[in-house]
Amino acid sequence: MTPIYLNLLELGKNKIKRILVTHTHPDHSPGAKVLADKLKIPMMGRLVAKDDSRQDRTFKPDQVLNHGDIIKTDEYTIEVIHTPGHASNHLCYLIAEEETMLTGDHIMNGSTVVIAHPDGSMRQYLDSLTLLKNYKFNRIGPGHGDFLGDPFAVVDWIIAHRLERESKVVEKLQLISPCNSNTLVKEVYDDVDERLHPIALWSLEAHLTKLLEDKVAVFDSDQQAWSLN
């Protein structure tokens, strides 16, 4: 067992009663299973998306959680919020007493969240960000990075940043379409290190899919080319 597990076991000795899983990407749920088995406690979360190869297929929640579920103990009240976008089965958890939103990979500190189509959806991601603004909390506990204060400013910034990128996709399509996504990624992400373009391509395709749904863009499957409608 690695030091991080040993630390968690030590810190949580006789205290950890259940594990709330945010989603089933391979850097999240497999670790929960190790702890759950060791402590003989239940894992709670949502089922693995069937048609996504990037998921931890071994994950089997002892209890399936749904949007609006409340987990109440003597110590805390946690509300379950379904936030599809990064992953279709993604959940955020609001600890009411702490006014803290645990956001998993929905909001990270220090890196941009990858939206990989088809399980990831840019439209759902933006809707799920807006959804968070209906809740009362004053800090974000992300799945990667330290706590974030001023949560509503963070949410607004992410939405604005994504919409700005979407505008850039439209702007570049105006200039160079018809073109395929490999050509487009170099233009739309010209401010990002080229080594990250393979990952940016996932987000670009999520943007393009949203633009297709919005009837702003069209896709020619014979030519594998995108252009504006």
Binding interface with Zn ion (CB under 5 A): 25, 105
Amino acid at 168: K
Amino acid at 134: N
What is the rounded CA–CA span in Å between residue 71 and residue 205? 36
Shortest distance in whole angstroms from residue 136 CB to Zn ion: 26
**Nearest in space to 21 (alpha carbons), one of 99, 114, 92:** 92
What is the rounded CA–CA span in Å between residue 185 and residue 154? 26
Q: Quick one: the chain helix, strand, coil %, rounded to 5?
A: 35, 20, 45
By C-beta, is 23 or 210 nearer to Zn ion?
23
Shortest distance in whole angstroms from residue 111 CB to Zn ion: 11
Shortest distance in whole angstroms from residue 228 CB to Zn ion: 31
End-to-end CA distance of the chain: 54
**Nearest in space to 216 (alpha carbons), one of 182, 183, 174, 160:** 174
Shortest distance in whole angstroms from residue 54 CB to Zn ion: 8
Shortest distance in whole angstroms from residue 4 CB to Zn ion: 18
Amino acid at 215: K
Residue with nearest beta carbon to Zn ion: 25
By C-beta, is 108 or 126 nearer to Zn ion?
108
Helix (H) or strand (E) holding 213: helix 197-213
Shortest distance in whole angstroms from residue 154 CB to Zn ion: 18
Print the SS3 string covering 17-72.
CCEECCCCCCCCHHHHHHHHHHHCCCEEECCCCCCCCCCCCCCCCCEECCCCCEEE
